[in-house]
Structure 1
Amino acid sequence: MPRRRSYDQFCAATRALDAVGDRWTLLIVRELLAGPRRYTDLHADLPGVSTDMLASRLKDMERDDLVTRRRLPPPASAHVYELTDRGRGLLPVLRALAAWGLPALEAPRPTDAVRAHWFAIPLLTALDAAATGPGVVEVRLDEGTFHARVGGDGGAAEYADGPAAPEPDLRLRMDAATCLAVARGAFSVAEGVATGRVEVVGAVGDAFAAGLGGGSAVTSGAA
């Protein structure tokens, strides 16, 4: 394959940018951090990317050992893209970028697309802080649902699109503005629950009960 463009600088940062500095690459990583995706799913959740650009970026990412492509077993018989270990190693990079960009994220602009799982990365730190042990938390927004595995050793949180299966240890419902406020540190998950801005749906597992006030601050809604 032809040699990819490079900054041609002997520097770790530029080597990283050689691999992920092109337009759309890190956003493809963001999508695949939420789980394996078909090409059509990636295209649907990356509004504005052309089919040619997406195909080109995925080929580059395969070559750079960031993604792999595999065929699902029958009856699906479809190809999906998923991150390699090297690709999944970019989650801390995206968390740092999200934290840096969060102050600029105010009300959505008229041209902005919105997906629920895009809120997951900036929210991971707050969800991790709410856990007193390893657990899964599901977050329901008007825009959709995502879930995250948090409270692990070394802050190795991860997230995925859609509801958790089987049942999560904690299920939360909030609006997008509240989600961003929690992500910014305006108040904690427990404080949001106590003030009614964050609703707990169903039972709370041990991994989160203590962090939410041991039940006294928890008001459960309908599932």
Structure 2
Amino acid sequence: MSPRRSYDQFCSAARALDAVGDRWTLLIVRELLAGPRRYTDLHADLPGVSTDMLASRLKDMERDGLTARRRLPPPGAAHVYELTPRGRELLPVLRALGEWGQDGLGERRPTDALRAHWFALPLLRALEEAGVEAGVVEVGLDEGDFHLYMGAEQGPLYGYGPAPEEPDARLALDSSTCTAVSRAELGLAEAVRDGRVEVTGDGAAAKALRENGT
């Protein structure tokens, strides 16, 4: 575990940055918003981080009360990392950072990695703006599928792959449309109306999207 570094300033923003200002910390939080994850899964979805750096950051985050490590019962029998309630309180920080960073997203560079679920937080905002308050929404992109838990106060906000049960709505769209929605250049209801997002399903979420897209 690395020694705690501090700005040594009596300021709440400085104290917060003491805990989450290091490189990779907030991106680890982003990944753990999907629920408990194994170390190998975290490493796979954080391209560019070294194994030593990831291990160090996870230890620091556990020390600072942001994450906890536990062992799954058999047959899993693997250690997983998960956010504590304190760590989950960083959700609005990540959402605000994402919205602030929209203008700097620009075009995808050849060196940019991409995982489908990295669109989860921007799409949560877009779905809320489109009138979806609750339910499971499955999203299909060329890069893969993921699902969102709208209105979730506890537990994961999103998950990897198709929804484990029949979703309330399924969205099919390409990454360029998803990027435009994430940048707030295109509203989700507008994208549905223009045929850039295909909505299927019979749940309240699907009905809300179709009604607001007309």
Please say if residues 32 and 81 of structure 2, whose CA atoms lie closer than 8 Å, have aligned partners that are also in contact. Answer: yes
Number of residue pairs matched?
Answer: 213
Local SS of the residue matching 1:196: coil
| Larger relative contact order (CA 8 Å, sep ≥ 6) | 2
- Pair 1:157–1:37, CA change in 2 (3 A): closer
User: Which residue identity is paired with 2:199?
Assistant: V
1:5 aligns with 2:5: yes
Q: How far apart in 2 are the matches of 1:204 and 1:104? A: 37
Report what 1:81 is aligned to. Answer: 81
- Pair 1:133–1:47, CA change in 2 (3 A): closer
Q: How far apart in 2 are the matches of 1:208 and 1:177? A: 22
- Pair 1:77–1:151, CA change in 2 (3 A): closer
Local SS of the residue matching 1:128: helix
Local SS of the residue matching 1:16: helix
Q: How far apart in 2 are the matches of 1:174 and 1:36? A: 28
What pairs up with 1:56-205 in 2 under 5 angstroms?
56-151=56-151, 158-201=157-200, 203-205=201-203
TM-score (norm: length of structure 2): 0.91
Give, in angstroms, the shift of residue 69 of structure 1: 0.7
String of CA shifts for 1:39-64, please: whole Å, max 9, x gaps: 01111111111111111100000000
Report what 1:212 is aligned to. Answer: 210
Consecutive unaligned residues of structure 2, counting only runs of 5 or more, are: none
- Pair 1:213–1:97, CA change in 2 (3 A): same
Q: How far apart in 2 are the matches of 1:56 and 1:94? A: 21
Give, in angstroms, the shift of residue 131 of structure 1: 3.3
Local SS of the residue matching 1:210: helix
Q: CA RMSD in A?
A: 2.2
Q: How far apart in 1 are the matches of 2:118 and 2:87? A: 18
User: Which residue identity is paired with 2:29?
Assistant: V
Please say if residues 134 and 151 of structure 1, whose CA atoms lie closer than 8 Å, have aligned partners that are also in contact. Answer: yes
User: Which residue identity is paired with 1:50?
Assistant: S
User: Which residue identity is paired with 2:208?
Assistant: A
Local SS of the residue matching 1:136: strand
Q: How far apart in 2 are the matches of 1:190 and 1:2? A: 47
Q: How far apart in 1 are the matches of 2:151 and 2:27? A: 25
- Greater displacement, 173-182 / 10-19: 173-182
Local SS of the residue matching 2:114: coil
Q: How far apart in 2 are the matches of 1:44 and 1:27? A: 13
Runs of 4+ in 1 over 4 A off after TM superposition: none
Local SS of the residue matching 2:137: strand
Give, in angstroms, the shift of residue 204 of structure 1: 2.9
Report what 1:221 is aligned to. Answer: none
- Pair 1:94–1:189, CA change in 2 (3 A): same
Give, in angstroms, the shift of residue 19 of structure 1: 0.3
Consecutive unaligned residues of structure 1, counting only runs of 5 or more, are: 218-223
User: Which residue identity is paired with 2:16?
Assistant: A
String of CA shifts for 1:122-156, please: whole Å, max 9, x gaps: 22111112235421211111111122122568xx9
Please say if residues 149 and 158 of structure 2, whose CA atoms lie closer than 8 Å, have aligned partners that are also in contact. Answer: yes
